[in-house]
């Protein structure tokens, strides 16, 4: 029995070491688009943090919402108040790659991930379409989906500076570097 | 033994799950503090709050006659307003420029604000410091007998502020004003071209949209005859895109060089006037 335990522990230890197929970034780009006639704007952040483990097929992304910049200080303030960033500082996704991906190919491949997206303290199961491309210097990720503000109990106050589209398009674009392991 | 194995496997499983998810960390925990004050001005005193790059602020400032006129003058409102219309623009997050026109003396002023320190959340930098310069020129017909040079007035100020908590900010601003021409209104008036002052300002935030603020501007050293120290008590309300400031102030002006040298009512007598500012920010980028 001791032998079995030893073997199990050893296997788990070795498997935990073998993260050669892991990729990470702290400089990914996230953009949201709010499209209302005469009031369209976009917000950007280049502080998207992401981690993908191709062995485990896990996909983990989060962003500090206070890094979003819409190019207007007043609008940024209203956005942060609406998202209650002091209370809920992050938007985050954790899920699994549910489609096939060939890491040996350098072609752009369509992929699907499924998991939990959390913002404003509300979690929802979502499925996101995107692309993965293995490059010499890392793994390039793009993805986009529509976020419905009401699904996450994000309700802009009536007296806001900005008029806000209730359906916001989210896009991410990041080059994840291999993680030594 | 089986239980031990199960526990061991479960522990490893949990560990691998936790390690698969990144620890959530703030991107810039010691970043610059936001919103030390609500706007660039309280009533008349400038603050360290600058406009972001590409932001245009339009501001209309008014005040009326002093309230001691009572119902006869509708507490000063019938005495006519002094109005300053001003525009400020953020060239960068740390450099703002502005232009304003005051109905009194048709004074047109140009201002520049430059932030040299920005307080950070974890106090790596404990205060914000902004240098302010303002130059005004009288343009009303009555002043045409004076040369261009003689009609100029100036202000230099160092604004030092700290946001002590989410709900309280305080600012000290030593300043100097200079008028190229000063005019005697009484034979025995003592006049000074250069006057020094020390501004104090504070903001108590009631909630995200409302606050109570004050400003007090005592003259330091030589003081022009019959002038008083300016003070104001302000209620600030932020609505959709506008910031309204309603106040009682003793000074008649909205430019600090004039508040230092032209204030003739004493807030603590008490004697003051009603006034209000309306600010609106437009994003131009």
Q: What pLDDT, on the 0 to 100 scale, is given for residue A18?
A: 45
Beta-bridge partner residues of B174: B198
What is the arithmetic mean of pLDDT over A85-90? Answer: 94
Q: What pLDDT, on the 0 to 100 scale, is given for residue A167?
A: 85
Q: What pLDDT, on the 0 to 100 scale, is given for residue B124?
A: 96
Which residue, A43, A124, A49, A102, is CA-closest to A76? Answer: A43
Per DSSP, the three-state class of B228 is coil
CB B114, CB B94: distance < 8 Å: yes
Which residue, B218, B223, B127, B227, is CA-closest to B170? Answer: B127
Burial class from Cβ neighbours inside 10 Å (0-12, 13-18, 19+) for residue B59 reads buried
- The pLDDT-based confidence of B54 (bands split at 50, 70, 90) is confident
Q: What pLDDT, on the 0 to 100 scale, is given for residue B107?
A: 96
Q: What pLDDT, on the 0 to 100 scale, is given for residue B80?
A: 86
Q: Which of B1-15, B34-48, B240-254 has the lowest mean pLDDT?
A: B1-15
Which residue, B33, B49, B133, B36, is CA-closest to B94? Answer: B49
Longest Cα separation, chain B: 106
Q: Which residues contact B3 (CB under 8 A, 6 or more apart)?
A: none
More confident residue, B253 or A34: B253
CA distance B67 to chain A (A): 33
Q: What pLDDT, on the 0 to 100 scale, is given for residue A91?
A: 96
**Other CB atoms closer than 10 Å to residue A157's CB: what's the count?**
13
- Chain A positions touching B9 (Cβ under 8 A) are 8, 12
Q: What pLDDT, on the 0 to 100 scale, is given for residue B284?
A: 76
Q: What pLDDT, on the 0 to 100 scale, is given for residue B209?
A: 87
CB B258, CB B46: distance < 8 Å: no
Cβ B12–A159 below 8 Å, yes or no? no
Q: Which residues contact B123 (CB under 8 A, 6 or more apart)?
A: none
Domains of chain A: 20-178 (2.40.128.110)
Chain mean pLDDT for chain B: 91
**pLDDT reading at A105 higher than 70:** yes
Both tokens assigned to A50:
């992401």
Query: Could you tell me if B21 lies within 8 Å of chain A, comparing CB atoms?
Result: yes
Q: What pLDDT, on the 0 to 100 scale, is given for residue A19?
A: 45
pLDDT, tens only, A50-61: 999 999 999 999
**Other CB atoms closer than 10 Å to residue A27's CB: what's the count?**
13
Per DSSP, the three-state class of B105 is helix
Query: Could you tell me if B283 lies within 8 Å of chain A, comparing CB atoms?
Result: yes
**pLDDT reading at A10 higher than 80:** no
Cβ A1–B1 below 8 Å, yes or no? yes
Q: What pLDDT, on the 0 to 100 scale, is given for residue B228?
A: 95
More confident residue, A30 or B284: A30
**pLDDT reading at A162 higher than 80:** no
Q: What pLDDT, on the 0 to 100 scale, is given for residue B6?
A: 59
Q: Which of residues 228-257 of B touch A (CB under 8 A)?
A: 239-241
Query: Could you tell me if A6 lies within 8 Å of chain B, comparing CB atoms?
Result: no
Per DSSP, the three-state class of A89 is coil
**pLDDT reading at A6 higher than 80:** no
State the Cα–Cα distance between residues B8 and B86, nearest whole angstrom: 71
Beta-bridge partner residues of B197: B175, B219
Q: Which of A120-124, A148-152, B201-205 has the lowest mean pLDDT?
A: A148-152
Q: What pLDDT, on the 0 to 100 scale, is given for residue A12?
A: 52
Domains of chain B: 26-276 (2.40.160.40)
Q: Which of B104-118, B123-137, B236-250 has the lowest mean pLDDT?
A: B236-250
Cβ B285–A72 below 8 Å, yes or no? yes
Burial class from Cβ neighbours inside 10 Å (0-12, 13-18, 19+) for residue B187 reads exposed
Which residue, B62, B81, B88, is CA-closest to B247? Answer: B62
Which residue, A140, A142, A143, A144, is CA-closest to A23? Answer: A140
pLDDT, tens only, B191-245: 999 999 999 999 999 998 899 999 999 999 999 999 999 999 999 998 867 899 9
Cβ A62–B283 below 8 Å, yes or no? no
Q: 3-state DSSP helix/strand/coil percent for chain A, to nearest 5?
A: 20, 50, 30
In this prediction the pTM is 0.82
Query: Could you tell me if B9 lies within 8 Å of chain A, comparing CB atoms?
Result: yes
- Cα angle at B245 between B63 and B251, to 5 degrees? 35
pLDDT over 90, % of chain A: 64
Helix (H) or strand (E) holding A64: strand A58-64
Supply the DSSP string of A17-47, one letter for each residue: H--TTEEEEEEEEEEEEE--TT--EEEEEEE
Q: What is the DSSP letter of B216?
A: E
């Amino acid at each position: 029995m001791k032998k079995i335990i030893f073997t199990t522990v050893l296997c788990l230890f070795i498997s935990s070491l073998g993260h050669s197929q892991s990729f990470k970034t702290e400089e990914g780009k996230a953009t949201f688009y709010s499209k209302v006639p005469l009031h369209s704007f976009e917000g950007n952040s280049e502080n998207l943090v992401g981690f993908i483990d191709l062995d485990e097929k896990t996909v983990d992304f989060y962003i500090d919402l206070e890094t979003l910049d819409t190019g207007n200080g007043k609008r940024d303030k209203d956005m942060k108040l609406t998202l209650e960033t002091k209370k809920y500082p992050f938007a985050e996704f954790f899920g699994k790659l549910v489609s096939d991906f060939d890491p040996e190919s350098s072609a752009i491949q369509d992929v699907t991930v499924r998991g939990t997206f959390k913002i404003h303290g509300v979690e929802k199961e979502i499925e996101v379409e995107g692309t993965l491309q293995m490059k010499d210097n890392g793994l390039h990720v793009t993805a986009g989906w529509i976020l419905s503000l009401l699904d996450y109990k994000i309700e802009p106050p009536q007296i806001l500076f900005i008029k806000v589209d209730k359906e916001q398009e989210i896009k991410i674009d990041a080059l994840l570097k291999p993680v030594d392991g | 033994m089986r239980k031990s194995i199960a526990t061991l496997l479960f522990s490893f499983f949990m560990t691998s799950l936790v390690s698969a998810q990144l620890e959530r960390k703030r991107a810039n925990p010691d970043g610059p503090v936001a919103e030390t004050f609500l706007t660039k001005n309280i009533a008349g005193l400038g603050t360290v709050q600058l406009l972001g790059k590409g932001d245009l602020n339009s501001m209309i400032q008014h005040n009326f006659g002093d309230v001691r006129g009572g119902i006869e003058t509708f507490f000063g409102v019938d005495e006519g307003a002094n109005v300053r219309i001003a525009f400020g623009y953020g060239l960068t997050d740390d450099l703002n420029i502005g232009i304003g026109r005051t109905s009194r003396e048709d004074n047109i002023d140009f201002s520049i604000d430059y932030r040299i320190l920005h307080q950070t959340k974890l106090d790596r930098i404990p205060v914000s410091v902004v240098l302010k310069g303002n130059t005004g020129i009288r343009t009303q017909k009555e002043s045409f007998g004076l040369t261009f040079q003689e009609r100029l007035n100036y202000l230099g100020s160092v604004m030092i502020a700290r946001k002590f908590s989410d709900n309280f900010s305080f600012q000290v601003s030593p300043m100097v004003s200079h008028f190229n021409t000063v005019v005697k209104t009484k034979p025995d008036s003592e006049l000074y071209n250069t006057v020094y002052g020390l501004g104090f300002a504070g903001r108590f935030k009631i909630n995200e949209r409302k606050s109570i603020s004050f400003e007090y501007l005592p003259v330091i050293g030589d003081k022009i005859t019959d002038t008083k120290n300016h003070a104001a008590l302000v209620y600030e309300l932020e609505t959709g895109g506008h910031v309204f400031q309603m106040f009682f102030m003793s000074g008649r002006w909205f430019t600090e060089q004039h508040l230092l040298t032209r204030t003739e009512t004493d807030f603590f007598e008490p004697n003051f006037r009603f006034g209000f500012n309306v600010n609106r920010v437009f994003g131009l980028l």
